[in-house]
Each structure stands twice: as structure tokens, then as C-alpha cells.
């Protein structure tokens, strides 16, 4: 398997707003807080020694409350805001060392940008808005129309290319903004509170749309949000910020289950765990299994020893085949069957290891038996019982 490389490397990035940033830098080195520095010097610390990498093809969400520095950070990545110190490396190129012309060229080739304010031109059609980035690049009109149409189709706006922007809903306008960014085929998408201005239902739809698109596009996405539930839903990893500093980096589940500070713990207290925890994270090991060549008396004895009323049946490589109940095994004995091969109930619900707890709960609510959890090759990993769900939610 190819090793996943880092697409973006953010190293010791610091941003101070004010005419004398050197004063703030000195005090930061001495360990003074953001508020103390402002009171002492009048310089505002936007970012304080930020370090993390973004892997190629992942969605990394930078999140925090207002004033945490998340929007300043994303703008420092492509130098819409000039950092005071530190470096940002894109594919081994130090963005902070580029000339203006080199930077402009890098932005055109590498970046697509989607912000909370859609930034669409009301006098242009949907297609003309989508073509804008390509137009700036002096792409041939026929080619840019084709690329723009492909991008509109990708975000589900086929048939709307000749519509005026005023005819579109907020969610559709944001799709146009996303299509405009995708039309230039960037390596990296920078998305700053891209869905924050949308109604809750439309916002959920756009989050789902982004996840679906990412399965096909495999872009590197740096997504800024203040909404923890949004970060947990779309982020492969999360960078949590406070007062311009990185507090914790990890998957949503890592941050939820192992908060690094009391601040992080308070931050995640109200999160909906059913939208974060997965079947694999709460499953138990299957206490016993059956095999197709087992006899009915053998599986009944195994059930009795483990205090079970049924056994999941697997092949020798643990591929899940189905389930055998005690009643079915007893009947097989009465019918003089030598194996359980033809009494396996193969029509059973099961879930993948990465299935969310919200889905698991829905399935468990309609059955009494444990729910089997399988990997991508349908091999049995474990089982989820109702008690495990209640324990996970209680914790």
C-alpha cells in the first residue's frame, strides 16, 4: 500500500496584528498570554506557533470558537493574510518565500476556495459564475465551458447553467460556489465556514454532499468550522484551537474519548455521541461462533457453556455466514442432521465497523439478538449488544 504523504505542512506559524509585531513575539516566547500581550502592547495575537500537517486526500477540520484563530490560519495557508513568522509548505514549496507572481500562479494551480459568503456575481449566470476561475486563467472558452459544466454536474446543478443567481436557493448558491472552486481542478480546497449561512436542513444536505463528492474527488480539504457536530461528521481529523493555539489534534473519536485538557472536555460535553461513535468502538468480541461442519449437538453444547441462545456461524477465515438458534439446532437433532450447514439463517442484519452508533441503535431497537460487526471483506469482527450502547452513551 502506498504511504499517504503530507500535502500541507504548517510549521511554527504565528500571526500578530499591529504595527510592532516584534514586541508581541518576544512576549510570546516568554509565555505571556494573548490577552496579556494585547493589554501590554496593543498587538493582537491571531496565531501562536501553530504546527500540524494535512495529509493528501483527507478532510481536516480546523475548529474553535470565535477568536480562536481558525479563519486567520486558513488565510495564512495561501497568504491572503501574511504570517508574521513560520512557514507553510505545499508539496515541498515554502509558500511564504514565493514572489507575488509565483504566489499568484500557485493559487491558480493549487487552491480552490469556498467561503461563508458565496461571493457570486449577481449579473452572471450560474455557468458564467462557475467559469470565472478558468476565465482568470485564460482558458479557451470552449474548454472552460466544458469544465464548468462538468463541475456543475458534479454538484447536482445540471440544467441550471443558464439560470440567474437570484433564482437559486441558498443551498444551490453554495453549490455554485463549490462548483466554481472545483472547475479549476485544484489539489487543495480551502473552505471557511462554507455552510454556516445555510438553514440547518440544507446545511446537513451540503455536509453529506461534500462527503459524497470527496469519495470521488479525493481532494485535500482544509475546512474551518465552529460547529463540533459538523466537524465530527465530515472531518477525517480535527484540529481544535483556542486563543490562536492548537489545543488538540486527532480523529473525532480520539478527541471525544480522550480530551487533552479540561477546556476540550467542556467543549465536547454536549456533542451527540451517536453521530461519532462507531460500531467497532463499542463492540464486544464474539464469545463463541459456529462453523458449517459443526453438528447440532456441538453448537448446542457451545451455547450452553457460554449462556447463549444462538451462535453466529462463520467460515474458517471468519467470513460471516449467518446465525443458528438453539431451537433450530434442537430441530436438526430431531431430524437426524449431522451438520448445521443447511439450518443457517443467512438473512441477518449486520453492520460495518465504521457504521455510526445512530444507525446501530436503529437496528438494535428492532431485534433482541446481538448485532454482528464485519470488516470490508465480510469477516466477523465482533458483536454489539444493547448494554454496550448504553454504556457508551453513559460514558
Please state the rounded mean pLDDT for residues 72-77. Answer: 94
Given pLDDT bands bounded at 50, 70 and 90, which one contains residue 118?
low
Given pLDDT bands bounded at 50, 70 and 90, which one contains residue 252?
confident
State residue 319's pLDDT score. Answer: 94
Over 80: is that where the pLDDT of 104 sits? Answer: yes
Kindly list the domain boundaries of the chain, sorted by start residue: 6-121+187-271, 280-394
State residue 113's pLDDT score. Answer: 85
Instruction: Note whether 347 and 370 are within 8 A (CB).
Output: no
- In sequence order, the 6+-apart residues with CB closer than 8 A to the CB of 49 are 12, 13, 14, 28, 86, 245
Over 80: is that where the pLDDT of 3 sits? Answer: no
Mean pLDDT over all residues of the chain? 89
Over 50: is that where the pLDDT of 223 sits? Answer: yes
Q: What is the maximum span of the chain, computed from C-alpha positions, in angstroms?
A: 91
CATH number of 280-394: 3.10.580.10
State residue 394's pLDDT score. Answer: 65
- In sequence order, the 6+-apart residues with CB closer than 8 A to the CB of 176 are 118, 120, 126, 129, 130, 152, 155, 157, 165, 168
State residue 1's pLDDT score. Answer: 47
Over 80: is that where the pLDDT of 4 sits? Answer: no
The values of phi and psi at residue 279, to 5°, are -60, -40
State residue 275's pLDDT score. Answer: 67
State residue 167's pLDDT score. Answer: 87
Stretch among 70-74, 81-85, 179-183, 295-299 having the lowest mean pLDDT: 179-183
End-to-end Cα distance, the chain: 36
Instruction: Note whether 78 and 220 are within 8 A (CB).
Output: no
DSSP symbol at 315: -
State residue 11's pLDDT score. Answer: 96
Please state the rounded mean pLDDT for residues 364-382. Answer: 89
- Beta-bridged to residue 88, according to DSSP, are 10
Over 50: is that where the pLDDT of 169 sits? Answer: yes
Selected residue with higher pLDDT from 266 and 52: 52
Distance of CA 230 to the CA centre of its chain: 9
Selected residue with higher pLDDT from 375 and 388: 375
Please state the rounded mean pLDDT for residues 328-341. Answer: 93
Distance of CA 327 to the CA centre of its chain: 44
**For the CA atoms of 284, 287, 293, 296, what is the dihedral angle to 10 degrees?**
-130
Q: How far is CA 117 from CA 58, 105, 155, 196, 339, in A?
A: 24, 24, 18, 9, 66
Over 50: is that where the pLDDT of 89 sits? Answer: yes
Selected residue with higher pLDDT from 204 and 346: 346
Over 90: is that where the pLDDT of 103 sits? Answer: yes
Q: How far is CA 316 from CA 38, 249, 263, 291, 380, in A?
A: 66, 40, 48, 7, 11
Over 50: is that where the pLDDT of 96 sits? Answer: yes
Please state the rounded mean pLDDT for residues 194-220. Answer: 83
pLDDT digits (tens, 9 = 90+) for 192-204: 888 887 777 778 8
Topology of domain 6-121+187-271, CATH: Rossmann fold (3.40.50)
Instruction: Note whether 323 and 340 are within 8 A (CB).
Output: no
Distance CA(187)–CA(190), nearest Å, equals 10
Amino acid at each position: 500500500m502506498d504511504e499517504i504523504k503530507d500535502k500541507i505542512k504548517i510549521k511554527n506559524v504565528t500571526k500578530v496584528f499591529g504595527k510592532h509585531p516584534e514586541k508581541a513575539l518576544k512576549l510570546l516566547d516568554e509565555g505571556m498570554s494573548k490577552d496579556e500581550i494585547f493589554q501590554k502592547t496593543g498587538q493582537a495575537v491571531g496565531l501562536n506557533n501553530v504546527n500540524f500537517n494535512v495529509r493528501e486526500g483527507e478532510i481536516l477540520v480546523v475548529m474553535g470558537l470565535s477568536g480562536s484563530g481558525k479563519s486567520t490560519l486558513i488565510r495564512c495557508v495561501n497568504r491572503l493574510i501574511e504570517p508574521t513568522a513560520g512557514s507553510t509548505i505545499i508539496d515541498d514549496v515554502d509558500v511564504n518565500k514565493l514572489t507575488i507572481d509565483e504566489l499568484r500562479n500557485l493559487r491558480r494551480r493549487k487552491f480552490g476556495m469556498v467561503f461563508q459568503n458565496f461571493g457570486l456575481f449577481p449579473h452572471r449566470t450560474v455557468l458564467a459564475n462557475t467559469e470565472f476561475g478558468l476565465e482568470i486563467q485564460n482558458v479557451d472558452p470552449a474548454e472552460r465551458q466544458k469544465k464548468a459544466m462538468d463541475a456543475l454536474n458534479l454538484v447536482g446543478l445540471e440544467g441550471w447553467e443558464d439560470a440567474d443567481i437570484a433564482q437559486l436557493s441558498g443551498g444551490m448558491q453554495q453549490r455554485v460556489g463549490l462548483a466554481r472552486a472545483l472547475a479549476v481542478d485544484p489539489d487543495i480546497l480551502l473552505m471557511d465556514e462554507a455552510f454556516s449561512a445555510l438553514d440547518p436542513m440544507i446545511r446537513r444536505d451540503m455536509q453529506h454532499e461534500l462527503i459524497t463528492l470527496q469519495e470521488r474527488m479525493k481532494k485535500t480539504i482544509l475546512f474551518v468550522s465552529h460547529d463540533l457536530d459538523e466537524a465530527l461528521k465530515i472531518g477525517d481529523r480535527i484540529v481544535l484551537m483556542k486563543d490562536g493555539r492548537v489545543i488538540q489534534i486527532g480523529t473525532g473519536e480520539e478527541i471525544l474519548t480522550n480530551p487533552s485538557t479540561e477546556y476540550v472536555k467542556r467543549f465536547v460535553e454536549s456533542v451527540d455521541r451517536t453521530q461519532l461513535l462507531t460500531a467497532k468502538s463499542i463492540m464486544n468480541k464474539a464469545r463463541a461462533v459456529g462453523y458449517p461442519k459443526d453438528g447440532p449437538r456441538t453448537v448446542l453444547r457451545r451455547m450452553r457453556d457460554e449462556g447463549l441462545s444462538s451462535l453466529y456461524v462463520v467460515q474458517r477465515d471468519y467470513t460471516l455466514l449467518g446465525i443458528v438458534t438453539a431451537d433450530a439446532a434442537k430441530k436438526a437433532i430431531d431430524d437426524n442432521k449431522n451438520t448445521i450447514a443447511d439450518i443457517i439463517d443467512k438473512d441477518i442484519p449486520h453492520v460495518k465497523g465504521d457504521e455510526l452508533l445512530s444507525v446501530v441503535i436503529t437496528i438494535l431497537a428492532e431485534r433482541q439478538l446481538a448485532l454482528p460487526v464485519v470488516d470490508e471483506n465480510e469477516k466477523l469482527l465482533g458483536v454489539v449488544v444493547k448494554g454496550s450502547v448504553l454504556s457508551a452513551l453513559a460514558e
